[in-house]
Amino acid sequence: MDEDDPIIEEIPVYLSKSLAKNLFVIQFPIKNKIYNIDKSSVSNCCVKPVSQQIKIDFKVDTASKNYDAFKGKMLAEVADGNRATNSNNKNEHPSFESGRMDKVSFVSSVSVQNPRYALGMMMDKELHLVPVKTFYQMRQNYLYFDKGDKRTKAEQKAENGSDDETEDLKQVTVKFARSGDAEKIKKARERSYHYISHIGADEPWCEALIYSNKSSQAEIERQKIPLSHNAIDGHFTSIKPNEYFADLISDHVTLNATNLAASALDTNEEQSESKCQTIHVPISKKQIKKLPLLDQIKIFLKDAKLLPFNQLMEMLSNPNISIDKTLRSLALCGVMIRGNWTLQSEILYPEGFVSLINGVSSELMCRGRDYIIYKLLKNEMTTLNRQKISIVTQLPQEETKEILESLACVKFTDKGKVWDLLKQPDYDFEKRHPEIVQRQDAFWKAQEEKFLEMEAEKNEKRTRKKSVRETKA
């Protein structure tokens, strides 16, 4: 203990979980620091339990001298239409029942999920903490303007007639999923942003009650925070100090395998299904160094995407690991692109993997990535076009862009905008290890025939389509 800074008092700290699942922090970023919700008039409060959204309506002081009555009435008419003359609007719930804009709405968005924050309460010289589940940021909502736009378009469509409108022809892509992959693709789409947004929009609002900070209901909830002495006694000396420290600082973190399928720490077929579920990956360099050399290289290549050999040796930074041993392990999991190394596509996209954007299978992802690597090896920058790659590999443009950006970047040259490697070519490494260059060239030469067949097949189909159009003309 420091004699210059003595301990004045010791305060016991207790962790209460009575409100842990129902304690949220609501923030109003656009309000000033002296803003207090208790001094505001709340006209309505709604929640969406599934999509976890909150909506709060605050009353507007229509009697204020700063309130424009004409503008308020006009905005209400834009949102709800003329309810006196239009019978269709009478069946809809109005945004402004008074006929003028007398409220402003705030809708929440999740700012931080599972934050490491807690609410503290001092009672009888004891500090009781309750974990905060989620932070919500409230933003002003203007959906009533969208409602007015939709109503105006519907009225115009009814007046003009639907027969007069001509639909624009759009090119669509038809995809056929294998029966075994249908369920995996469905689960991947259910995790997508568009699906979650659609579900959130369709979920109805549920009416909720809001109580003031000084109300009796709020006081009843606050009384649930302190732990009773019977509950406190049960927590003393329940675990050993080293076990408690291990719980605070875990060696591993749980990640979704779709974000880290490339680690492929298990290579046998029996564990291929586990890669698409939940796996444990070290979060610190100290923990990574405890893994076998091959697994360390896989993790570094996955995270860095493209690495020169010298930089890889610096990341390994182990005097007991020789260059020859590293090269042997690197040949088992890596692919060389003009002196730089990247992870093999089969490890990056193992069997059972599906992309999160369009649910593309691992087979198509591997084929498309290998084709892009082949083009980068051939240094065919001018022909490395995202649209052409999508046509040859049958990959959607979103997945094509994702693969391209992991290996290359856009550069502006005399020939225009082209894709080139993220790293400068390491010709010194190729000169020092010509046998590795020969093995890599032999591998890609064997793959070259497959890529040429893919290009020829697509060119033949495009030629047939062009000839059919000319015949019809």
Give, for all 473 residues of the chain, the pLDDT tens digit: 567 788 888 888 888 888 888 888 888 876 666 666 656 688 889 998 888 889 988 888 888 888 898 988 888 888 777 765 555 555 567 778 888 888 888 898 876 666 788 888 888 888 888 888 888 888 888 877 777 777 777 777 777 765 555 556 667 777 665 655 667 777 776 667 667 677 777 888 899 888 887 888 888 888 888 765 545 444 445 667 777 666 655 554 433 333 333 333 343 333 334 333 333 444 567 778 888 899 899 999 998 889 999 999 998 888 888 999 999 999 899 999 999 999 999 999 998 888 888 888 999 999 999 988 988 888 766 566 778 888 888 888 889 888 988 898 888 877 777 888 888 899 999 999 999 999 998 888 888 888 888 888 766 655 555 554 555 55
Q: How far apart are CA 207 and CA 48, in angstroms?
A: 9
C-alpha to C-alpha distances, 358 to 190, 192, 194, 369, 393, nearest whole angstrom:
11, 9, 11, 16, 15
pTM of the model: 0.45
| Domain edges within the chain | 13-60+102-156+179-222, 252-467
Pure H helices in 229-338: 229-233, 241-248, 285-288, 293-304, 309-316, 323-333
CB 101 within 8 A of CB 145: no
Count the Cβ atoms, other than its own, within 10 Å of residue 375: 22
Among residues 283, 372, 442, 171, the alpha carbon closest in space to that of 364 is found at 372
Find tokens 């993220």 and name the residue: 422
Kindly state the DSSP code that residue 108 receives in the 8-state scheme: E
